[in-house]
DNA sequence: CTTTTGCCTATCATTTTAATAGGTTGTTGA
DNA sequence: TCAACAACCTATTAAAATGATAGGCAAAAG
């Protein structure tokens, strides 16, 4: 399951994209709109700043804003930044220690195939597709 | 990430499929071959029995065995049984309480699309594909 | 009737998750 | 200039999940 870190970060990004008029959006406003604790969001948003997704400015009139065009964000980089990895098993992460069973593991190829599929899915999905009014997905019903 | 419950269960299933000669396979043997604590496997295997994946027989000459043909197992049912769900968010699980944001949630359609993809992937993948000697995957190198 | 093996209950340490709390620094509009 | 605002920083926490370990009981076969 995707944790609140990833899910909330995504909602912050969408919120910022929907209020992307050049000004800075206070976290207080985002927290109220998204109905998420502002204090908890601070922790999440901190990592989004250091991860290069958004920028923050202190003081009156300050807040956060996107630092790129909306089309230049993939969902994959947002989730991967917040969740650490998209890999289904530790063996497939970047800094994985070499598994002694690697050569004989019957499941690794499947995990690898799955990982590629997941990676493609999220990196091909753009933030702009989730922003209200810019996609048919808005009226999608499950 | 898939937990040890799911990953170990899968390895037990593969081990049983590779020793599927009608006899019962003692957990001790599986634990040794797979290099997993037998005591920990007991917990996992218990759920595999109650979940209808395998059967166990006590006593000398006892052990576990598959209760269906190898082709009749999908990876999806094994992982779903052990992990509880394949859904990426709680909103998409079977007994999910109705989310108040459901109607306005911009991310739900994406999670739903992702869920469908994951579900299809694992339910179309059969246990027999992972069993040694029955698939080209064996020589697959990442 | 002893050996083997599954089965059951309990306990445990560690890590992760999802927050809360309070203080400090930086910025600006009045 | 200074008060209000907003980001930023550190610490703490409760609860749950994770990944086991331990010991004994029950059943079946040889």
For residue range B94-117, list pLDDT tens digits in order.
Answer: 988 888 899 999 999 999 999 999
Judging contacts by C-beta atoms under 8 Å, the chain A residues touching residue B35 are: 101
Residues 6+ apart with CB under 8 A from A47: A5, A9, A81, A82
Predicted local distance difference test score (pLDDT) of residue B104: 92
Q: Is the pLDDT of residue B138 over 80?
A: no
Considering all nucleic acid strands, name the nucleotide whose C1' atom is nearest to the C-alpha of residue B36. D20
Q: Is the pLDDT of residue B3 over 50?
A: yes
What mean pLDDT value characterizes chain A? 93
Per the domain annotation, does A136 fall within a domain?
A: no
With CA atoms as reference, the chain B residue closest to A90 would be B1
B22-80 pLDDT per residue, tens: 999 999 999 999 999 999 999 999 999 999 999 999 999 999 999 999 999 999 999 99
Of B31, B49, B66, at which residue does a domain stop?
B66
Q: Domain of A50: which CATH number?
A: 1.10.10.10
Residues B107, A7: C-beta atoms closer than 8 Å: yes
Instruction: Report the distance separating Cα B9 and Cα A66, nearest Å.
Output: 44
A35 touches strand C (CB under 7 A): no
Q: Where are the alpha helices (DSSP H) in A35-105?
A: 38-50, 75-83
Per the domain annotation, does A139 fall within a domain?
A: no
Torsion of CA A46, A48, A50, A56, to 10 degrees: -70
Residues A60 and A81 in one domain: no
If one counts every other C-beta atom within 10 angstroms of the C-beta of residue A78, the result is 22
Query: With an 8 Å Cβ cutoff, is B89 touching chain A?
Result: yes
Query: With an 8 Å Cβ cutoff, is A86 touching chain B?
Result: no
Percent of chain A whose pLDDT exceeds 90: 86
Predicted local distance difference test score (pLDDT) of residue B22: 95
Q: Which H or E element spans position B66?
A: strand B63-66
Query: Domain span at residue B12?
Result: 4-66
Which of A131-140, B5-14, B98-107 has the highest average model confidence (pLDDT)? B5-14
A105: Cα separation from own chain's centroid: 31
Instruction: Report the distance separating Cα A75 and Cα A63, nearest Å.
Output: 22
Considering all nucleic acid strands, name the nucleotide whose C1' atom is nearest to the C-alpha of residue B24. C5
More confident position, B131 or A135: B131
Q: Is the pLDDT of residue B137 over 60?
A: no
Q: Is the pLDDT of residue A142 over 50?
A: no
Query: With an 8 Å Cβ cutoff, is A79 touching chain B?
Result: no
Residues A15 and A35 in one domain: yes
A43 touches strand C (CB under 7 A): yes
Q: Is the pLDDT of residue A42 over 50?
A: yes
Confidence of residue B81 (pLDDT cuts 50, 70, 90): very high
Average pLDDT over every residue of A109-121: 98
Predicted local distance difference test score (pLDDT) of residue A98: 85
Of A17, A39, A66, at which residue does a domain stop?
A66
Question: Distance from B59 to chain A by nearest Cα, in Å?
Answer: 30
């Amino acid at each position: 399951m995707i944790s609140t870190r990833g899910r909330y970060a995504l909602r912050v990004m969408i919120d910022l994209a929907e209020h992307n008029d050049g000004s800075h959006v206070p976290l207080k406003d985002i927290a109220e709109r998204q109905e998420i604790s502002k204090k908890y969001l601070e922790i999440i948003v901190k990592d989004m700043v250091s991860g290069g997704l958004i920028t923050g400015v202190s003081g009156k009139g300050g807040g956060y804003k996107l630092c790129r065009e909306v089309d230049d964000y993939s969902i994959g980089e947002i989730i991967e930044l917040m969740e650490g990895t998209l890999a289904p098993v530790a063996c497939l992460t970047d800094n994985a220690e070499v598994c002694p069973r690697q050569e004989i593991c019957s499941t690794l190829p499947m995990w690898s195939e799955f990982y590629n599929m997941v990676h493609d899915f999220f990196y091909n999905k753009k933030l702009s597709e989730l922003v209200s009014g810019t996609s048919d997905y808005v009226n999608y019903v499950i």
